[in-house]
Amino acid sequence: MPTYNISMKVEYIFEVEAEDEQEAEKLAWEYDYEDDRSSYAGVYSIDVDECEEDYIDESETVGEGKDE
């Protein structure tokens, strides 16, 4: 069965106290999004990419004289 890499962009809205915008951004990177002060605002996008690993269907190799 193939595998996929999933990349989701999710939006949260919350307030932080900071001296300036740079400090506010730093705090956002470290923020605990499960905190009650944050508000989930929805999924912005979902990207799906199939992994590039070689997928071997075992049903095609068993019983045909191929390595098992």
Per-residue pLDDT 10s for the chain (68 aa) are 899 999 999 888 888 899 999 999 999 998 887 777 778 889 999 999 999 866 566 666 666 555 54
* Structural domains counted in the chain: 1
Q: Is the overall model pTM greater than 0.75, yes or no?
A: no
Predicted local confidence at residue 5, as pLDDT:
94
Residue 65 lies in a domain: no
Q: Which residues pair with 4 in a beta bridge?
A: 50
Distance CA 23, CA 42 (A): 25
Q: Which residues pair with 63 in a beta bridge?
A: none
Structure tokens at 47: 């990207």
Residue 48 lies in a domain: yes
Residue 9 lies in a domain: yes
Predicted local confidence at residue 4, as pLDDT:
95
Predicted local confidence at residue 41, as pLDDT:
85
Residue 33 lies in a domain: yes
- Write out the residue range of the structural domain in which residue 32 sits: 4-60
Give the chain's count of helices (H) and strands (E): 1, 2
